[in-house]
Chains A and B, each alone.
Chain A
Amino acid sequence: MCALCGVLGNADHWTDAIARPGVFSRNSDAAERRRERMRRVQCANRVLKLYGLKLSDWQGSAFLLSTATGKTEIVDHLAHLWIKAEKLTGRLCDPLDPALIARLEAAHD
């Protein structure tokens, strides 16, 4: 937990696995960690925009997930992203939803 703001620190998530021998991780050094966070924000936003949401980095330690009206949730890591997205939108974020898949496919085309 951050001593200044009281935000709970990141728990382990497989996408943020601690870099150690034999483990694939982009959590190896500060620069690579920052690059991966930026990639993650860009990648997630391609899907989140279809739900009217936007993700942004917050001081390199968490993410902010916001609606168009400014309602915002702090997201520690990817494990919490979709739970918070469902909470903010009141909808299920289902990657197997044919309508979502069709919109992703259409965006690509």
Chain B
Amino acid sequence: MTEAASLTPVNLITGFLGSGKTTLLQRLLRDPALADTAVLINEFGEVGLDHHLLERIDETTVLLQSGCLCCTIRGELSSAIKDLHARREGGRIPFFRRLVIESTGLADPFPILSTVQADPVLKHHFRLGNVIATVDAVNGGIQLARQRESARQVAVADRLVLTKTDLADKRTTETVISDVRQLNPSAPLWRAPYDPLDAEALLSHGTFELSDKSEMAQRWFADEVKARWRRYGNPLDGLNHSTGGRLSGAGEVHGHNPSRHCDGIHAFALVFDKPLDWTAFGIWLTMLLNRHGTAVLRVKGILNVAGSPAPVAVHGVQHLVHPPVHMTAWPDEDRRSRLVFIVDSLDRALIERSLSAFLQSNGLPDVTTRACPVSVS
């Protein structure tokens, strides 16, 4: 068994207040595939209710209340997971193969992910699994537009579940999906209650799990790029190669940038023609995340690294960057590096210019970048 496979995956269920996190968890826990799952619920109020709603009160269900995991009781999250681990190892609770955390509706997912990834004890026993975000089909549009926490939750999600679609009319649902896609173009989306919720698909097969790294990374990026190009066209089409100029206005319809949402949160992709210098890229991204980590909601990419025959996939959420994945093969014929950013109030042009300047200053002349918004149809 590999080291990664022996670590217990930790899934985070996030979503704004009232978006159906507990209902989703309730449904998932009925699935026999999740019989050996521990649950950690965080509630903001003085009196916790969600664990009662789960109708599963046992030793592997833990309630953290009177505070929010991402800020006031972050230390308690680490202690609670360590305690679960100690009791599991001591045989005092049933063995569990997975831990699911349900956060409060106001929580920023990043500190929770960071705790699991960076805690010196936890990182030897647990690893990050998928982040699942619930979005309310009835109120989601307003929440995404007005509540920054809601938009950030959607932006970092690996899986999206649109809830209450039976209560919303078709037009409202489609509008919310469109809003969601502007924030997170690539995460698979389920429409509850109509779509069958497959616990395995939602919680397992993490985007960047090393156990099935290549296939998942390939699928992820192939879907992303195909979807983007289906809607906006291949970034190379129409490009003036003689000038090496940028793809000006690609994807912008009638002067409106469809990737811009929630007062500054927007997604875009950069495409690089030539192999990238890994060292320069690492220094640049580290510098960017040091100063703007909270605003880089996601960065994902498949890179053609100079000197490496196979592509390298990178994946980060705010300050947290996962170990780079060495893929076994390219997902398609395209050998260019592609980086997707979902950022909050950062200037796309400055990011593009900055990365190009860093790469060029390290002896990579004529680095051509092209930026285009990302979304899916």
Contact = CB atoms under 8 A, between A and B. Distances in A.
Interface of A: 11-15, 17-18, 20-26, 36, 39-40, 43-44, 46-47, 78-79, 81-83, 92-96, 98, 100-101, 104-105, 107-108
Given A78-B283, A96-B350, A101-B353, A108 B360 contact: yes
Contact of B288 (A25, A40, A44, A96): A96
B257 interface: no
B278 interface: yes
Contacts of B362: 43, 46
B291 A24 contact: no
B321 to A, nearest CB: 4
B358 A105 contact: no
A107 to B, nearest CB: 6
A-side interface mostly = helix
B323 interface: yes
Contact of A92 (B214, B286, B291, B316): B291
A82 B360 contact: no
Contacts of A47: 283, 287, 358, 361
A94 B291 contact: yes
A24 B322 CA distance: 11
A81 B284 CA distance: 11
Contacts of B324: 14, 17, 23-25
Given A23-B210, A101-B350, A15 B288 contact: no
A23 B326 CA distance: 5
A96 to B, nearest CB: 5
Given A95-B291, A105-B357, A22 B286 contact: no
Leading 3 A-B pairs by shortest Cβ distance: A24-B326, A104-B357, A17-B323
Contacts of A44: 283
A21 B210 contact: yes
Contacts of B279: 36, 39-40, 43
Contacts of A15: 282, 286
B213 interface: yes
B86 to A, nearest CB: 23
Nearest to A46: B361
A22 B291 contact: no
A47 B284 CA distance: 10
B354 interface: yes
Given A96-B346, A101-B353, A108-B360, A25 B323 contact: yes
A42 B362 CA distance: 9
Contacts of A104: 357-358, 360-361
Interface in B308-344: 308, 312, 314, 316, 321-326
B287 A24 contact: no
19 contacts: A14-B324, A15-B282, A22-B4, A23-B323, A24-B323, A39-B279, A43-B362, A78-B286, A81-B283, A81-B287, A81-B290, A83-B290, A95-B291, A95-B358, A101-B354, A105-B353, A108-B357, A108-B361, A108-B365
